[in-house]
Amino acid sequence: MTVRTRFAPSPTGYLHIGGVRTALFNWLFARQHGGQFILRIDDTDVARNIDEALEPILDGLRWLGIDWDEGPGVGGPYAPYYQSQRSDRYAAAVEQLLASGHAYRDYATPAELDEERAAAQAAGKPFLYSRRFAAFDEATAQRYQAEGRAGVVRLKMPREGVLVIEDAVRGRVEFAWEREQDHVIQRADGSCLYHLATVVDDHDLAISHVIRAEEHLSNTPRQAFIGQSLGYPLPAFAHLPLVAEPGSRTKLSKRKLEKYLKNQDFKQVMDHGLKIAERIGLSPEADTFNPVIVDFYREVGYLPWAIDNYLALLGWSYDDKTEYFTREELIRCFSLERINSSPASFDPKKLWAVQDTMMVALPVDEKLQLMLPFLAKAGLLSDPPSPEAVATVREVIVAAGDRLKVAGDILVYADFFLMDEPPMDEAAVAKRLAKPGTAALLKAYAAAVATVDPFEPEPLEAALKQVVGDAGAKVGDLVHAVRVAVSGKTVGPGLYESLAILGREKSLARLTRALPLCGDG
């Protein structure tokens, strides 16, 4: 049997991190078995601007390297892959269900339904529709229609027996049929509902494995009933544990950003992203600038594989120690059997750590390619950038070393090399230049800088220690002052490396420029 899996997003305008995990697992499973991974768009109930709402989702998946064999943009033998274009298939299925007696036309009004629901609740019983306004024959249907009632189509669910599902993650799960509602599958206007559409599509697209989040587990009986009634073989099911909120077991939701920001780890990731966004002219108010949404990570400069690798570990593990995988390794190692069944909370700190490890391991030139666009967006590079500027950035990347965690971090470490007169941070000036004697030290070091040869980190360091020693001062007094004088702020790559990159002329100019800012300057 060919393995065919699918990810079926609804065009909502954003890619949720939990959705990515689902897509990833489907993709991994298909790739591992040499099967196909299909992208189908569940747009049965969405407004017209589908392209606009879909593009961010497709972009996100592409960025993450989750490629699809069939679906939007690539087509495929089972096209179309949009539910909105398959309605004739659903209508046919409804007719078939009606003809075989597995569904019926129903003419109850919403008010009448509410009444029944309320009565059941008052009696403390679970609600089950009485089928009071069901029309099992044409005459009845016409009578109701004559009354002006609008008819929907409902499933005629079995009222006894049990359904047994063999779930790849959860094992054997049983449901009593008598608890299942007669769900509506077609509206009065003829449009069809999700459950019907999904089952028909999964069958039509020859989906072999339905791998989805646990929230769909309780939807399985009605879908199994639809499939059975239509004569479809049941696909294999795997219900993934929910991706939960940081430090909680509740389903992660894009709408609860405010709440998550009270979590320190989450807030730290957000704030860090905000700082980068600010520099590249990104609106922090944007709906998608949210660590629950994939766009956030792309915009800030995370590595897509870090996201994939981290997410693979949410609800799945290979063994007791392996945590880092290449794409090929993950495809080889993945298995449904090793998926966990308990909810896994999203831990932004751990994601950060994975990102950190991968960024550190990235070759310098790859970092360079990743980081250049951020500098361009911040207006720190011309378009195209001059070879000199690119060379400088490369040197900064080497000097900054492990400090660059995401591509956007380059803004903090490289900006002052690329500016003619970097702004002086007031707090930094107050903290590092105010101390009496600083101006004299700076002046003395400037004199050394003017003659140091070669203009490299070691001699620059030796010269600084010499100046400090001669003045009877502490190394810290000068080091911090020089950093602020030269960069305008307190953080940056190693100081001597910074000076070397800056060059003698600029270093001197900045040292001189800072003199008047010193407390006793």
Q: Looking only at residues 82 through 101 of this chain, which bind RNA when binding is defined by CB under 7 A? A: 83
57 token code pair: 């989702």
Pairing of strands 209-213, 236-240: parallel
Place of tokens 């479809």: 232
Contact region for RNA (CB under 7 A) — 417-425, 443-451, 475-483, 501-509? Answer: 475-483
Pairing of strands 4-7, 36-39: parallel
Closest CB to RNA among residues 77, 171: 171
Please indicate whether residue 254 is annotated as part of the active site: yes
Triad 10, 11, 16: Cα angle to 5°: 75
The yes or no reply on residue 188 touching RNA (CB under 7 A) is yes
Q: How far apart are CA 16 and CA 141, in angstroms?
A: 43
Q: How far apart are CA 457 and CA 57, in angstroms?
A: 47
* 185 SS3 class: strand
Contact region for RNA (CB under 7 A) — 51-59, 123-131, 326-334, 440-448? Answer: 123-131
Q: How far apart are CA 317 and CA 264, in angstroms?
A: 26
Among 340, 369, 382, 451, indicate the residue that binds RNA (CB under 7 A).
340
Q: Among residue numbers 287 through 316, which ones bind RNA (CB under 7 A)?
A: 313-316
Among 335, 342, 369, 382, indicate the residue that binds RNA (CB under 7 A).
342
The yes or no reply on residue 350 touching RNA (CB under 7 A) is yes
| Residue 473 DSSP one-character state | -
Q: How far apart are CA 45 and CA 172, in angstroms?
A: 33
CB of 211 to RNA, least distance (A): 15
Q: Among residue numbers 223 through 252, which ones bind RNA (CB under 7 A)?
A: 241-242, 244, 247-251
CB of 255 to RNA, least distance (A): 12
Residues in the chain: 521
Q: Please report, for residues 96, 443, 467, 479, the alpha-carbon distance to residue 446 in angstroms, rounded to integers and kept in the order given.
A: 88, 5, 10, 12
What are the residues facing 105 on neighbouring strands?
A: 135, 153
CB of 350 to RNA, least distance (A): 4
Closest CB to RNA among residues 32, 181: 181
Whether residue 510 contacts residue 486, with contact meaning beta carbons closer than 8 Å, is answered with yes
Q: Among residue numbers 16 through 45, which ones bind RNA (CB under 7 A)?
A: 42-45
Q: How far apart are CA 428 and CA 419, in angstroms?
A: 18
CB of 68 to RNA, least distance (A): 17
CB of 504 to RNA, least distance (A): 17
Contact region for RNA (CB under 7 A) — 91-99, 211-219, 440-448, 510-518? Answer: 211-219
Whether residue 501 contacts residue 464, with contact meaning beta carbons closer than 8 Å, is answered with no
Contact region for RNA (CB under 7 A) — 26-34, 386-394, 419-427, 494-502? Answer: 494-502
Closest CB to RNA among residues 324, 385: 324
Q: How many residues bind RNA (CB under 7 A)?
A: 92
CB of 242 to RNA, least distance (A): 5
Among 34, 77, 148, 171, indicate the residue that binds RNA (CB under 7 A).
171
Among 495, 500, 514, 517, indicate the residue that binds RNA (CB under 7 A).
495
CB of 344 to RNA, least distance (A): 3
Among 134, 418, 479, 517, indicate the residue that binds RNA (CB under 7 A).
479
Q: Where are the alpha helices (H) located in 64-193, listed in sequence order?
A: 87-99, 110-122, 138-146
Triad 242, 246, 247: Cα angle to 5°: 100
Q: Among residue numbers 416 through 455, which ones bind RNA (CB under 7 A)?
A: none
The yes or no reply on residue 338 touching RNA (CB under 7 A) is yes
What are the residues facing 259 on neighbouring strands?
A: none
Question: Which of 251, 254, 259, 443 is labelled catalytic?
Answer: 254
Q: How far apart are CA 131 and CA 171, in angstroms?
A: 34
Instruction: Find the Cα–Cα–Cα–Cα dihedral 194, 200, 201, 206, rounded to 10°.
Output: 150
Closest CB to RNA among residues 285, 320: 320
Contact region for RNA (CB under 7 A) — 51-59, 168-176, 281-289, 443-451? Answer: 168-176
Among 74, 92, 119, 150, indicate the residue that binds RNA (CB under 7 A).
150
The yes or no reply on residue 126 touching RNA (CB under 7 A) is yes
Whether residue 94 contacts residue 186, with contact meaning beta carbons closer than 8 Å, is answered with yes
378 backbone dihedrals φ, ψ, rounded to 5°: -85, 0
Among 131, 170, 259, 435, indicate the residue that binds RNA (CB under 7 A).
170
| Residue 249 DSSP one-character state | S
The yes or no reply on residue 345 touching RNA (CB under 7 A) is yes
| Residue 154 DSSP one-character state | E
CB of 111 to RNA, least distance (A): 10
Contact region for RNA (CB under 7 A) — 23-31, 53-61, 364-372, 474-482? Answer: 474-482
Q: Among residue numbers 101 through 120, which ones bind RNA (CB under 7 A)?
A: 108-110, 113, 117
479 token code pair: 């080091």
| Residue 369 DSSP one-character state | H
The Cα diameter of the chain in Å comes to: 108
Active site residues: 254
